[in-house]
Amino acid sequence: MAEVSLDVEAPIDAVWAVLADGWSYAGWVVGASHIRDVDTGWPKPGTRIHHSVGPWPLVIDDTTEVVRCEPSRLLELDARLWPAGAARITFTLQARSEALTEVRMSEQVARGPSKFLPTFVQDMMLIPRNRETLRRLDALARGRSAPFH
């Protein structure tokens, strides 16, 4: 399982607001190029983001579904990208202070051809991507928590 973490300089509610905004995912999830739709009620379990991945015109349309949600604490997703496969992605949040939140992201290939790659190869692909994903999440959460000028 590929796992990364980052201390985000934003309150836990600002970080959660980004995770709970399905329309924002193309802005911070590396590889997501377009959000086509977000089910009403996101991020309740069973709701989905309908996303596109990849550069135009080589775009693949698929979905990511919420498996488990504990607001301001945990979000577990089943992210699909066929024909490559699907992954279980979990975000956990922990307040370090009123203005600092630890975000932990773990990803494990769940099914499909990618599951047969050795773990170290999966980690080589996922860890740098997920570090950048958390850096982008950090920027959006900081922006949401910054006072308006």
Q: Is the pLDDT of residue 135 over 80?
A: yes
Each residue's pLDDT tens digit, 7-61 = 999 999 999 999 999 999 999 999 899 999 999 999 999 999 999 988 888 899 9
* Both tokens assigned to 37: 């739709």
The per-residue pLDDT of the chain, averaged, comes to 93
Q: How many helices (H) and strands (E) does the chain have?
A: 3, 7
pLDDT for the residue 74: 98
Contact (CB, 8 A) for 71 and 93:
no
Give domain 2-145's CATH superfamily. START domain (3.30.530.20)
pLDDT for the residue 85: 84
E strands within 9-146? 32-38, 48-53, 60-70, 74-81, 85-97, 100-111
Residue ranges per domain, the chain? 2-145
Q: Is the pLDDT of residue 145 over 90?
A: no
Any residues with CB less than 8 A from the CB of 116 and at least 6 apart, and which?
A: none
Amino acid at 121: V
The Cα–Cα gap between 108 and 123 comes to 9
Looking at the chain, the whole-number percentage of residues with pLDDT higher than 90 is: 75
